[in-house]
Amino acid sequence: MFRGHNRSRYRKHEFAFAGLLQCAYDNCTVTAERKKGKYVYYRCSGYRGKCALPRFREADMGVRRGQLLKDIYIPDTVLESLQRAIREDQDRSDSWRKQERDRLQKRSTGIRARLDQAYCDKLDGEITEDFWQRKSYEWQQEKQQVLLALNGLQDVAPHRVLTASRILELAHKAYFLYVKQNPVEQGKLLKLVLSNCAIDGASLYPTYRKPFDLICKAAKSEEWSGREDLNLRPPGPEPDSRAYRN
């Protein structure tokens, strides 16, 4: 995920944290400007008038914002446990879908056999035309329901399971990746994790994107309960659910 968002090279006119900062005093956007051709400073846009937010350098901002990524760190043992849970859930989901698909296909074959037999009985005069029309309509409707249920049993796309694992890995390695990059790439990494960040000159007030907000909450409380907290596992039916019943 990180490499996919960091293909461009560092360019002088890019501001690393543009679009990420918001003034905590008046909710205005924090803008960037370059001084003496090389020093980048951030300040409140002043849309609502002058406020108490001081100017600050991009270099200082980079260090402070990097600390936010430490709040989503996932311990090694927890990371392994969550990734194992994702795989186990996927295996259970695949097994359930296979059983349900086999059952529905068997049901569809049975309906088709009934239709064929009833049509032969109609031709042989063993059932009336009215009875044939009524039952064939019922069976066609039932067959349509079975087909709809089969279409609803699509496998979870592999990329969704892969994305869940990558999110966990990104949270696990975010700070380590951050400190190795230049300011522009640091900004790109932060945009993967944060949707916004208010600043008042002394403190930062981050708004994490989902599911990093849940990861942060779990990391701070040290309550790693897997599915209930993070909900990163691939979606799947409960073991006793049915897409279609007789």
Domains of the chain: which residue ranges? 3-75+175-227, 76-158
Helix/strand number for the chain, H first, E second: 7, 6
Inter-residue contact 208 to 32 (CB < 8 Å): no
10-residue mean pLDDT profile of the chain (246 residues): values are: 48 71 90 82 87 84 78 82 77 85 91 91 88 91 90 65 76 86 84 87 85 82 54 45 38
- Report pTM: 0.55
pLDDT for 142 equals 92
Task: Sort 216 into a burial class: Cβ within 10 Å, 0-12 / 13-18 / 19+.
Answer: buried
User: Which residues does 146 contact at the CB level (< 8 Å), separation at least 6?
Assistant: 104, 107, 108, 111, 244
Strand order in the sheet with 204-208: 21-23, 194-199, 204-208
- Annotate 31-88 with DSSP letters as a single string: EEEEETTTEEEEEE--TTS--SPPPEEHHHHHHHHHHHHGGG---HHHHHHHHHHHHH
pLDDT for 116 equals 92
Nearest to 89 by CA among 231, 187, 244: 231
pLDDT for 110 equals 93
Q: Could you give the C-alpha distances from 171 to 136, 166, 167, 179, in angstroms and in order?
A: 57, 8, 6, 14
Segment (H or E) for 206: strand 204-208
Q: Which two tokens stand for residue 54?
A: 């001081």
Q: Could you give the C-alpha distances from 91 to 122, 146, 157, 158, in angstroms and in order?
A: 47, 24, 13, 12
pLDDT for 243 equals 38
pLDDT for 137 equals 92
Q: How many Cβ atoms are within 10 Å of 133's Cβ, its own excluded?
A: 11
Q: Which two tokens stand for residue 91?
A: 């295996």
